[in-house]
Structure 1
Amino acid sequence: MLLLAAFTNSLQAQLISDSIQIEGNYRTFHFNTPAQNLKRPSLVFVMHGSGGNGKGMMNAATRMDQQARTENTIVVYPDGYKRYWNECRKASPALANVENVNEQAFFDGMIKYFTKQYRVDPKQVFAVGTSGGGHMAYKLALTMPDRFRAITAIIANLPDITNLDCTPAGKPVPVMIINGTLDSVNPYNGGAVNLGGNVTMGEVRSTDRTLAYWAGLAGYQGQPQKESLPDVDPNDGKTIERYTYKQKGKPEVVLLKVIGGKHDYPNDVDVHQEALRFFKRQLQ
């Protein structure tokens, strides 16, 4: 009986890797076989950081992936072009940026793929990314706001205006930001992003300016509501404050300020599960 259950579970969560051709490049993505009897499911893209890949990102989002299977949601882990994204940082030396690969066409193609194969609801598409993947999430919100219901960017700030090579659509969307105050790669207070050695990605805005951009776009004024989250792991040297702009008729905009956080994930919350909860709130 136990063997049968294990076999059944493995069938339910079999890894699938596929690709679509975008302007001469085969772009790949990975996902676990969806649960049975989905009805117009939501679609969540999870983007890896610079130098990573989709399969590696699956390990970081295991809990969210398992939870999504019970909540009528398909989670997809795309691969960047040669391990990087063509996001909005003009100074990025990544080939994805140098060759100006068409990321919008890639994500649009994946949305069409899952709409056809699994009948996902195209009005319930979300994206969460870490570091370079967070920058990719920002790009999707900036340039494809009609295709994405909400995004979450983890340890990433918007590029400084002098380093921005995207043309924003200017349409507000729900955004959650999760940044650490001691992050030396993505400086909380803004400045140069250095990946080590001589690899620089140009300058980013501060977290406060990034939050203010999305809040201003959504029409908020004044200060957000502040809440201190429980310090679940007092040994990790981090605490979290949540700042929320939320008003009926306006997109929700949230910052999780990880005090003492570096270029990593806090232990007090599972950031991907937190993103999934944020996404689900936008459907209520």
Structure 2
Amino acid sequence: MAVHSSSSKPKPDLMLQCLLSIALLFLSCAFAKAQLISDSLQIEGRYRSFHFNAPTQALRQPALVFVMHGSGGNGRGMMKAAEKMEQLAATSNTLVVYPDGYKRYWNECRKASPAQANLDDVNEQAFFTAMIGYFVKKYGVDTKQVFAVGTSGGGHMAYKLALTMPQQFRAVTALIANLPDTSNLDCVPSGKPVAVMIVNGTDDPINPYQGGPVVLGKNMNMGEVRSTDRTFAYWAELAGHTGSPTHETLPDTDPSDGKTVERFAYQTPGKPDVVLLKVNGGKHDYPNDLDVHVEALNFFRKQVR
């Protein structure tokens, strides 16, 4: 007769808990995978792709936020960086979209850029116009609440949208990027004001805070950019602001990162806000004291009055 020890058998309630945990894990993974949508639009003979998480609840004329990657990156790669913003957007009637640059680069406003997107003069305005139309048709987005935030080369793309498409973009945020120097600018500015927030580090070796050449690597000389102060002043003057901006030092929530953040802001009723977050000690990265994408989303919300 075989003898079985009852102590070697899992308890029924423990087995049930394990099975439920496995089932929930499987369902959550399947749901997360099903959420991501990747699509493309044909723009002047080129297929341009973009990515977004399908809304988990009904939207009513939602706002639309584009998140642009840096040079050499891609849209899906930005999803982790903007994760907290995405979570907030999901509960505030906002869609977040992550477009891909052409061959990993944008045709932004730097004349010297050797990127294929610039050499081929890819029509970025047509791409963004088509994406806005796509989301208007699919989700009924409010065309008066369209925004863009970009990092590095994506920040330059954000500047291009503000310079050339102010009727379609309510506000933009440029992270670790300065405007191209006037000698390196190949966009034709509209001359119309747009709300702009800039986040730049004072010790950035790639996007020099004081202006100068931007070199990404061998054979990737992007030409010269203006200083952060000149960039900030350009948008402030365009919006009609005068005098000195307000100034405050933000809480240093992570003293170990060696960075502190100061906020300079022009906020006048009836004029677009223009804000600079100066990251003292910041390099070509994000500060730990705040989430730059969450800051961008909060900035965008303030422009809807």
Q: TM-score, normalised by structure 1?
A: 0.97
Q: Distance in 1 between matches of 2:296 and 2:43?
A: 28
The amino acid of 1:259's aligned partner reads: N
Following superposition, the deviation at residue 283 of structure 1 comes to 1.1
* Counterpart for residue 117 of structure 2: 96
Q: Deviations over 1:7-34 (max 9, x none)?
A: 3685377110000000000000000011
Q: Which runs of 4+ in 1 moved over 6 A?
A: none
* Counterpart for residue 63 of structure 2: 42
Following superposition, the deviation at residue 197 of structure 1 comes to 2.5
1:226 maps onto 2:247 in alignment: yes
The amino acid of 1:118's aligned partner reads: Y
Q: Distance in 2 between matches of 1:113 and 1:167?
A: 26
1:109 maps onto 2:117 in alignment: no
* Counterpart for residue 207 of structure 1: 228
The amino acid of 2:27's aligned partner reads: F
My pick for the range that moved more, 8-17 or 182-191, is 8-17
Q: Distance in 2 between matches of 1:156 and 1:248?
A: 27
1:29 maps onto 2:50 in alignment: yes
RMSD, aligned CA: 1.4
* Counterpart for residue 259 of structure 1: 280
In structure 2, relative to structure 1, the CA distance for the partners of 1:9 and 1:44 (3 Å cut) is farther
* Counterpart for residue 195 of structure 2: 174
* Counterpart for residue 31 of structure 2: 11
SS at match of 2:296: helix
Q: Deviations over 1:87-145 (max 9, x none)?
A: 00000000000000000000000000000001111110000000000000000000000
The amino acid of 2:63's aligned partner reads: S
Q: Distance in 1 between matches of 2:59 and 2:224?
A: 43
Following superposition, the deviation at residue 68 of structure 1 comes to 0.4
SS at match of 1:196: coil
Following superposition, the deviation at residue 63 of structure 1 comes to 0.7
Following superposition, the deviation at residue 196 of structure 1 comes to 1.8
Q: Distance in 2 between matches of 1:47 and 1:26?
A: 17
The amino acid of 1:36's aligned partner reads: Q
The amino acid of 1:38's aligned partner reads: L
Following superposition, the deviation at residue 6 of structure 1 comes to 7.3
* Counterpart for residue 166 of structure 2: 145
Q: Distance in 2 between matches of 1:171 and 1:10?
A: 46
Q: TM-score, normalised by structure 2?
A: 0.91
In structure 2, relative to structure 1, the CA distance for the partners of 1:35 and 1:9 (3 Å cut) is farther
Q: Distance in 2 between matches of 1:88 and 1:16?
A: 29
SS at match of 1:104: helix
SS at match of 1:198: coil
Q: Unpaired segments of 5 or more residues in structure 1?
A: none
Q: Deviations over 1:54-73 (max 9, x none)?
A: 01011111111111000000
Q: Distance in 2 between matches of 1:37 and 1:182?
A: 44
Q: Distance in 1 between matches of 2:41 and 2:127?
A: 8
Following superposition, the deviation at residue 225 of structure 1 comes to 0.3
In structure 2, relative to structure 1, the CA distance for the partners of 1:10 and 1:283 (3 Å cut) is farther
